[in-house]
Amino acid sequence: GTPTSSAALLKRVMETGGRSAEDMRMAIIRAAVYASRTGAHGGSFVGSDGETYPDVSKAFSNWGNLRPCPRCKSNKQGAYHCRLRRKHMDQDYDGGDSASILVPLLAEPIENLIPKSFQGK
């Protein structure tokens, strides 16, 4: 399909909520960590439903539920830039601890981050 339809599909999954939205959110976060560790910022990614979606960094910003640290927030930088490009692990600008979800993923062997079936596509 066209990128528009997959972006709309992703939005629908996330807005419907529940289990599939949570699975998709984790797939996005894992794919974003994978992208940042391989230098493939902004590439497409495969969701938990097996569909390919455009722009993992945008999906991460929209649906990852991570917030930037105060410094990045004041520089108008989003969560992807803050947490995955800059690797900032400070508290969120609102005092939360959203980046803690990334800590184990940043330490994980890179090949474990995305499902085997999606590697090398």
State pLDDT tens for residues 18-41: 999 999 999 999 999 999 999 887
Task: Answer for the pair 110, 38: CB distance below 8 angstroms, yes or no.
Answer: yes
Domain limits, the chain: 3-113
SS (H, E, C) 16-40: HCHHHHHHHHHHHHHHHHHHHHHCC
Please, which residues bridge with residue 45 across strands? 53
Show the tokens assigned to 107: 């330490």
In percent, the amount of the chain with pLDDT more than 90 equals: 81
Mean pLDDT within 60-88: 96
By the 10 Å C-beta count (0-12 exposed, 13-18 middle, 19+ buried), 69 is classed as buried
Residue 82 clears pLDDT 80, i.e. is over it: yes
Question: In the predicted model, what is the mean pLDDT of the chain?
Answer: 90
Q: Range with the lowest mean pLDDT among 1-5, 58-62, 97-101?
A: 1-5
Alpha-carbon dihedral angle through residues 57, 62, 27, 49, given to the nearest 10 degrees: -110
* pLDDT tens string 93-121: 999 999 999 999 999 999 899 876 655 54
Cα angle 13, 116, 8 (rounded to 5 degrees) comes to 20
Rounded to 10°, the helix 18-38/3-16 angle is 130
pLDDT band at 2 (very low <50, low <70, confident <90, very high): low
